[in-house]
Amino acid sequence: MRLIRYIFVFVLLTLFTANKAEAFEWSRWYSDLKTNIADTWHCGRLDAYVPFYAWHNRMFYDDDHIRKYNEEAWGFGLGKGLWDGNEWHGLYFMAFKDSNFYLETMFGYGYQYNWSLSEDGDWKFGLGYTLGFTQRHEYSYIPVPLPLPVASLTYDRFSLQAAYVPGIKNNGNVLFMWLKFSF
């Protein structure tokens, strides 16, 4: 539970300290978000996504739930990604098999700040967030908001990305992972 709090605080700090010299303004943040989404849509490169794993945190699930849940969240998705210095912006759509073996979709905008791990800049570690929606069987596929923390390890055009879905006992608390290839 402590890890979830740290991730939540990190995402909030990322959102609210984008420009430390000025006070945070929702209108400016929203304006920047719209600009980043438009730039990504118009200038971004094609990305392919392959969701593959949904780990259910054993600290929050009993054995009965773990036995019946699917953790092989295979699927496919497409998107557009735009690099602006160390910042990555992405628009994405993914469809995959959820924990209950039903189709789940996820779509939205992602942002990550990346730190170079190698001198040539090919290896990067990123932290950020996604603002999107998911559609699940148990909600009759009505879009449900999905703001999540995201982390990645990138080598050149390949990325391993993951988001943590917080939750309660036997619900949520899932580390969702996917691969991304940028064309």
Q: Which of 47, 56, 89, 182 is catalytic?
A: 56
Q: Is 67 helix (H, G, I), strand (E, B) or coil?
A: helix
Q: Which of 32, 62, 65, 98 is catalytic?
A: 98
In terms of phi and psi (left: phi > 0; alpha: psi -120 to 50; beta: otherwise), the region of 134 is beta
Taking residues 41-70, report their average pLDDT: 94
Q: Which tens digit of pLDDT belongs to each residue from 79-100?
A: 999 999 999 999 999 999 999 9
The rounded distance, in Å, linking the Cα atoms of 60 and 123 is: 33
In 34-173, at which residue ranges do the beta strands (DSSP E only) sit? 45-56, 75-84, 87-97, 103-116, 123-135, 144-155, 158-165
Q: Percent of the chain, pLDDT > 70?
A: 87
Q: Report the candidate in 112, 104, 93 with the shortest Cα–Cα distance to residue 174.
A: 104
Q: Which tens digit of pLDDT belongs to each residue from 108-127?
A: 999 999 999 999 989 999 99
Active site residue 47: no
Q: In terms of pLDDT, which residue wins out, 17 or 157?
A: 157
What per-residue confidence (pLDDT) applies to 121? 87
What per-residue confidence (pLDDT) applies to 18? 53
Active site residue 64: no
Place of tokens 């300290």: 17
Q: Is 109 helix (H, G, I), strand (E, B) or coil?
A: strand
* pLDDT above 80 for 1: no
Query: Would you place residue 167 in the very low, low, confident or very high pLDDT band (cuts 50, 70, 90)?
Result: confident
What per-residue confidence (pLDDT) applies to 2? 57
Q: Which of 99, 152, 159, 182 is catalytic?
A: 99
* pLDDT above 90 for 177: yes
* pLDDT above 60 for 72: yes
Which residues have a Cβ under 8 Å from the Cβ of 68 and sit 6 or more positions away? Answer: none
Residue 126: other Cβ atoms inside 10 A: 20
Taking residues 61-77, report their average pLDDT: 93
Q: What is the CATH number of domain 2-182?
A: 2.40.160.20
Counted residue by residue, the chain has a size of 183
What per-residue confidence (pLDDT) applies to 22? 63
Q: CA distances (Å), 65 to each of 61, 62, 163, in order?
A: 6, 6, 21
Q: In terms of pLDDT, which residue wins out, 37 or 13?
A: 37
Of all residues in the chain, what percent are helix, strand and coil, respectively (each to 5)?
25, 50, 25
* pLDDT above 80 for 166: yes
Query: Positive or negative, the Cα torsion across 95, 129, 42, 179?
Result: negative
Active site residue 56: yes
